[in-house]
Amino acid sequence: MPTQNRQVRLGARPVGLPTPQDWQHTTEDVPEPGDGQFLVRTEYVSLDPAMRGWMNDARSYIRPVRIGEIMRAGALGRVIASNHDGFAVGDHVTGTFGVQEYAVSDGLGVIRADPALAPLPTYLGVLGLTGLTAYFGLLDVGKPREGDTVVVSGAAGAVGSVVGQIAKHVGARVIGIAGGPEKCGLLTEEFGFDAAIDYRSDDVRAALREHAPDGVDVYFDNVGGDILDHVLARLRLGARVVLCGAISQYNATERPSGPANYLSLLVNRASMTGMLVFDYEERYPEGVSQLAEWLAAGVVTAREHVVDGTIDEFPEVLLKLFAGENTGKLLLRIADR
Ligand code: NAP
């Protein structure tokens, strides 16, 4: 039985991109599970753009991570000791276990992952909050119909790649926006998108005019900034913009300027709606079961980007999200010590 637990804590509030000085690395004794608790050894840590927001001292949908607190993170691990009737040694589980090698849990918000049904990383990707964000954000908020033109940004990322595949499944024409020729090739060749726009080298506005000549019915926005503005200019009557995220703004050190083309919402009687996956908690079972069915049927392909390392490497792996170095769901796999 291991005795030491390595942890990564928030050391300071970052300005711009997080630096090594913004983190503290600590070692504590592995905690003992009490009555009704179990001990989990972390196998995979989920890397999420939202983590950058949790590091700010700002009012949001969830309280900020405190200075000195273990960094909040979703993770998947194996139960290695248990005093809980519902979880046995050997079970694989997902939960908000934080950036640490071992975590004690009372089972609240913990979901079992069965490696016989899907590879473990998929439980943090398509079958986790990533897939659920795509599922509820697109279908409940975007409401795509057959024949609609759907545009998604961050399209080769975890959420975006699932959004595009579900949109194809409902019969929409799907245009993905991503960075670089490799990712764009993947969108059309592996994920079945109808067209891809490389925002790093293409003129996004001109490319949208070419690929969506009649306008855009649904825009699933993961990035905000200039790309949002370009898509707003191409909205069609009654369009729905799903405001899922704005990664291009998360490390901004100055106040972002508002989208110049927002009056397009008025002209086109369009809507722009913020969505938060946590609001759908009661419907997670529905989402997971539908996503699992689509995975099994090949309607949706799961893509994870797994980096092998130690828990101490979390800060540098997180930066991959902001540099666009990941394709699909970014995970840190922690080797057994
Ligand atoms: P992801 O898309 O797998 O990774 C982030 C990607 O964003 C990068 O790979 C990069 O791809 C792109 N990116 C980074 N900087 C950019 C910039 N300045 N401009 C344009 N693109 C940039 O991450 P994810 O977990 O799927 O999250 C995607 C979005 O969904 C994020 O905004 C996240 O906050 C949001 N989200 C929201 C909810 C919710 O409940 N509302 C839940 C989960 C996630 P490129 O190489 O293409 O640039």
| Among 1-5, 246-250, 280-284, the least confident range | 1-5
Give the mean model confidence (pLDDT) for residues 166-189.
98
Confidence band for 337, pLDDT divided at 50, 70 and 90: low
User: Tens digits of per-residue pLDDT, 112-159?
Assistant: 999 999 999 999 999 999 999 999 999 999 999 999 999 999 999 999
pLDDT of 336 reads: 79
Considering only CA atoms, which residue is closest to atom 32 of ligand 1? 245
- Residue to probe by mutation, ligand 1, list 223, 279, 330, most atoms within 8 Å of CB: 223
Is residue 327 in contact with ligand 1, taking CB distance under 6 Å? no
User: Tens digits of per-residue pLDDT, 69-114?
Assistant: 999 999 999 999 999 999 999 999 999 999 999 999 999 999 999 9
* Domain extents in the chain: 4-125+302-334, 129-278
Is residue 184 in contact with ligand 1, taking CB distance under 6 Å? no
The count of C-alpha atoms lying within 13 angstroms of the C-alpha of 328, restricted to the half-sphere facing its C-beta, is 21
Cα dihedral 61→140→130→256 (10° resolution)? -50
User: Tens digits of per-residue pLDDT, 20-49?
Assistant: 999 999 999 999 999 999 999 999 999 999
77 C-alpha vs ligand 1 centroid, how far in Å?
24
Is residue 274 in contact with ligand 1, taking CB distance under 6 Å? no
- CB-based contact 76:120 (threshold 8 Å): yes
Q: Which CATH number is associated with domain 129-278?
A: 3.40.50.720
Is residue 164 in contact with ligand 1, taking CB distance under 6 Å? no
Which of 203, 128, 219, 182 lies closest to 324, judged by CA? 182
pLDDT of 278 reads: 96
pLDDT of 256 reads: 84
Does the domain made of 4-125+302-334 have the CATH classification 1.20.1250.20?
A: no
Is residue 277 in contact with ligand 1, taking CB distance under 6 Å? yes
Is residue 287 in contact with ligand 1, taking CB distance under 6 Å? no
Is residue 322 in contact with ligand 1, taking CB distance under 6 Å? yes
Q: Which residues on neighbouring strands pair with residue 152, listed in sequence order?
A: 176, 220
Over the chain, what HEC string results? CCCEEEEEEECCCCCCCCCHHHEEEEEEECCCCCCCCEEEEEEEEECCCHHHHHCCCCCCCCCCCCCCCECCCCEEEEEEEECCCCCCCCCEEEECCCCECEEEECCCCCEEECCCCCCHHHHHCCCCHHHHHHHHHHHHHHCCCCCCEEEEECCCEHHHHHHHHHHHHCCCEEEEEECCHHHHHHHHHCCCCCEEEECCCCCHHHHHHHHCCCCEEEEEECCCHHHHHHHHCCEEEEEEEEECCCHHHCCCCCCCCCCCCCHHHHHCCCEEEECCHHHHHHHHHHHHHHHHHHHHHCCCCCCEEEEEECHHHHHHHHHHHHHCCCCEEEEEEECCC
80 C-alpha vs ligand 1 centroid, how far in Å?
33
- CB-based contact 27:4 (threshold 8 Å): yes
Mean of the per-residue pLDDT values of the chain: 97
Equal fold, 4-125+302-334 vs 129-278:
no
33 C-alpha vs ligand 1 centroid, how far in Å?
36
278 C-alpha vs ligand 1 centroid, how far in Å?
17
Confidence band for 67, pLDDT divided at 50, 70 and 90: very high
